[in-house]
Amino acid sequence: MATGTPQPAFVLVRPQMGENIGSAARAMWNFGLDRMRLVAPRDGWPNPSAVAMSSGAGRLLDEAQLSEDIAGAVADCTWVLATTARPRDMTKTVYTPEAAMAETARRIAAGEKVAVLFGPERAGLENEDIAQANAIVSVPVNPAFASLNLAQCVLLCAYEWQRATGEADPVVEALAGTEIAAQHEVDHLARHYEERMEEAGFFFPATKAPAMKLNLRNMWSRMPLTRADVQMLHGMMRQIVRWKDKGAD
């Protein structure tokens, strides 16, 4: 069963290879999309090659809606986007994938039904196909090599849909079970190193010692140290001192 999450339908128009249909299904499911529609797949439907490439997303293929033409595939939709990497001499609003999925999210939240058309592998959507869409999604690719694999294009749009509707933080510090070191822990580490380095005669000549210590303190403060880092650095210094004392014996 399809999820109840409001989302766009991804319509594969005259896809040529079952493998690409399966890869597109996998890409959709990676980002929580499960409304696949197929328009006149070249090798018929169902297609065993699509199942083999779907890698756990076979449910999307089982529930995919099959239509003879684009009109039938998008009959229930209020806004239709057509993807293309080539310039088209047509008067239509052109969106990047990011802007297209943001607008899609806005329209779906308002109760509209949206479909995104993806063309066949050989040359993409024809102008006659695009004429049935309300707007264009143009992927900013290398103009010298504008050809995108069908599943790659699906993945790009699915990813932007997730970005437009998800709650993912743009940056996350993965601390692997530890915590950021408190200031007093970093201060203790700095004093430990200063004392041992003082004993080793590192701060020489004496006239430069204050500036050297200041630079060392500044280095510690710039480093995003965790408690595990601080403990390891303490241990490193202790081992160095033990090794030195052992050598002196």
Q: What are the pLDDT digits (tens) for 162-199?
A: 999 987 777 877 888 889 999 999 999 999 999 999 99
Residue 246 scores a pLDDT above 90: no
Of 139, 162, 12, 6, nearest to 78 by C-alpha is 6
Specify the residue for token string 């756990």: 56
| Between 90 and 238, residue with greater pLDDT | 238
The pLDDT-based confidence of 144 (bands split at 50, 70, 90) is confident
23-74 pLDDT tens trace: 999 999 999 999 999 999 999 999 999 999 998 899 999 999 999 999 999 9
For 207, counting Cβ atoms within 10 Å of its Cβ (0-12 exposed, 13-18 middle, 19+ buried), the class is exposed
Integer CA distances (angstroms), 106 to 8, 125, 185, in order: 11, 25, 48
Out of 75-79, 85-89, 241-245, least confident range = 85-89
96 Cβ contact partners less than 8 Å away, ≥ 6 residues apart: 137, 138, 139, 140
Of 130, 10, 28, nearest to 65 by C-alpha is 10
92-112 pLDDT tens trace: 999 999 999 999 999 999 999
| pLDDT score of 247 | 61
Specify the residue for token string 């449910």: 59
The residue ranges of DSSP E strands in 47-156, in sequence order, are: 65-67, 79-84, 93-95, 114-118, 135-138
| pLDDT score of 242 | 87
| pLDDT score of 1 | 43
Structure tokens at 190: 């700095």
